[in-house]
Structure 1
């Protein structure tokens, strides 16, 4: 197993809303929602190809994003939906996942962990929810064919295991802490499963300890201010952790965790740790191992990043020259993902830019 970095890396927290809000979906559930869109959106007959079968489903479009009737989509994909009128929550289950959606406040909880999702829209007694967000959350690949304007949905063949969230929390008047970490279950190799779970819990504990230590000086300073002036306005520090599973295919499991600490400034700082496991051994893979072991992998990645920077017209605050051979990474369905940390090459407004290097780039040597 490779050694992990032990230092806390302070990074600004941003979440790419554009990535989350593409191709948003709809539930045929009638509710009263004060946040519902005032504008009346036309219903469009959208061509779909779901599990290889062509069909047309009524959708709406908002700001370039597609919304669709949730029950129509769930019926096609084999997901199950349950609506609880008393709480105005929708529960969607399938493919070893459970998502709870609050229709009044557009809240989402996936396998026990709160996640950020697009705003719910209510129109003509129908609740509209995000297509890409929900589909990808449940392990479906979403594609779009320009010529036919067809949206494709296909189940990704995943490793047979479940991933749920456990939490470490502490809340008081002086500071707040809540960290979620992944727990694997149902995997065929119990020893490997235990090995990965033990490692991920240890990593969460490590960051909780580091974050708590960062908050301690602020707590001390706040308490000193309150001792002098009980009515003094202070900002309570907080530490939060969330994880995202990005790849669970072909005997590999990849995910990253964002640990966000707020110390009273303009915004939180975040440390991102990415992990890719070989499910045959439970060991972490290095970047070189993940891309096939070729000696020119750094050059290939550098070329791809430079091209994507130019294509996206990404403004840099420092010139990009090369990645480190042991650069942090994670896997997606489409390729190896390299990311810039906050303020490394871009401003805070750019967040953590991601660069997907297609797997094919490493086989064309």
Structure 2
């Protein structure tokens, strides 16, 4: 069993396999270059349409759906949601008008930007449809959609990324969206940018501030700072090795992070580190971190799910089934062990991910497989509070 899995670092002396593992975002990153209009947002809120929206509406999603009555913190909203593809979707403007989130628009790129603390959601319109990013991370399926000329986002995004939960009344077809009880901490972004003839570098690394618990704060920040400093060291070495090769195109290095869970004394996130140093495309390496906020320690799978005796069999069985149904699967998955760190928590599930070229082709991106907590936790488990 492939149980020994060391935390990846960007070491310039890499074997051929790690060179392959080190790069996956090019395809995703190239998708983020399009948008719509602030006047359109106003038009959406009033149920009207505007010409710029119509100009990009040729790929509007055809839909036979049921309307959902939306409420915000118990108050009925003027806008309605939709049941579509067995999921609830809410108008983008609901986030602004009812949840009071910041919504801005960049006309040059036709991009709407929702900001909620440390999370920045970008929804871009283009001739082929809609694409979405969270803190630079491409959001695939389900994604934002144009439905009957309006932009809708899956309610799941509000749960997973924006700090909300919902109370569903199936009889009334009503969804009350309320703020989740988040941990008392502040996420900060440590940014660094360079743009010169040799490289374009954009680094956005996470840092935490935990009022009243400086020891946990320091422990977490040591881990996050180490992740960032190792990438910076890799960049410095790559640029040193490039000296004297002025005919090369500029290198590109990016880092970004997404907080996936920030409740009940746990903090879970992942960091993407992208590099392009020539060749057909760049690559991204992803690293997951899940912390206990009481002492700042990194949590292992055994600590999270070990109260269920066969939890590793459940995890490996689900992942294996996912790989075997994946087009282009190379084969070779033998299982993960307790020291596996490539996972992150979400509101109702844990998601395991694997690097590009590890088991699947580049075009597949970073494969992810999610398992509901109900399959891994019992009512008397130490982390039973993760259960819905």
TM-score (norm 1): 0.72
Decide which of 187, 201, 214 is 1:163's aligned counterpart: 187
Using the alignment, how far apart are the partners of 2:188 and 2:301 within structure 1?
Answer: 26
Using the alignment, how far apart are the partners of 2:232 and 2:239 within structure 1?
Answer: 11
> Structure 2, unaligned stretches of length 5 or more?
12-17, 33-39, 45-49, 382-388
Compared with structure 1, are the counterparts of its residues 261 and 144 closer, same or farther at alpha carbon in structure 2 (3 Å cutoff)?
Answer: farther
CA-to-partner distance for each residue in 1:236-278, whole Å, 9 max, x for gaps?
A: 2111111111111211111111111111111112221111111
Using the alignment, how far apart are the partners of 2:111 and 2:363 within structure 1?
Answer: 33
Matches within 5 A, 1:1-365: 4-6=7-9, 8=11, 9=18, 10-14=21-25, 27-29=41-43, 33=52, 36-39=55-58, 46-50=67-71, 51=73, 57-58=79-80, 68-76=90-98, 78-81=99-102, 92=114, 96-97=117-118, 99=120, 113-114=135-136, 116=138, 128=151, 130-132=153-155, 135=158, 136-141=160-165, 153-185=177-209, 187-217=211-241, 219-220=242-243, 222-223=245-246, 226=247, 234-292=248-306, 296-310=310-324, 312-328=325-341, 329-363=343-377
Using the alignment, how far apart are the partners of 2:374 and 2:84 within structure 1?
Answer: 34
Using the alignment, how far apart are the partners of 1:202 and 1:257 within structure 2?
Answer: 12
CA-to-partner distance for each residue in 1:6-46, whole Å, 9 max, x for gaps?
A: 464433314779xx9xxxxx832587748942439699772
Using the alignment, how far apart are the partners of 2:9 and 2:112 within structure 1?
Answer: 41
After the TM superposition, which of the residue ranges 65-74 and 162-171 deviates more from structure 2?
65-74
Shift of 1:70: 3.6
Compared with structure 1, are the counterparts of its residues 33 and 286 closer, same or farther at alpha carbon in structure 2 (3 Å cutoff)?
Answer: same
Compared with structure 1, are the counterparts of its residues 34 and 357 closer, same or farther at alpha carbon in structure 2 (3 Å cutoff)?
Answer: closer
Contact 2:292 2:299 in 1 (8 A): yes
Contact 2:308 2:377 in 1 (8 A): no
CA-to-partner distance for each residue in 1:133-159, whole Å, 9 max, x for gaps?
A: 863432234799999876674543321
Q: RMSD of the TM alignment (CA)?
A: 4.5
CA-to-partner distance for each residue in 1:267-326, whole Å, 9 max, x for gaps?
A: 11222111111100011112211223555432221122223345x455420232211331
> Structure 1, unaligned stretches of length 5 or more?
21-25, 227-233
Task: Give aligned pairs, total.
Answer: 340
TM-score (norm 2): 0.69
Shift of 1:220: 3.3
State the secondary structure of the residue aligned to 2:243: helix
After the TM superposition, which of the residue ranges 145-154 and 41-50 deviates more from structure 2?
145-154
Shift of 1:115: 5.1
Using the alignment, how far apart are the partners of 1:159 and 1:319 within structure 2?
Answer: 40
- The aligned residue for residue 47 of structure 2 is none
CA-to-partner distance for each residue in 1:76-134, whole Å, 9 max, x for gaps?
A: 3x32446589999866555x456486878899897xx555567896998xx73634486
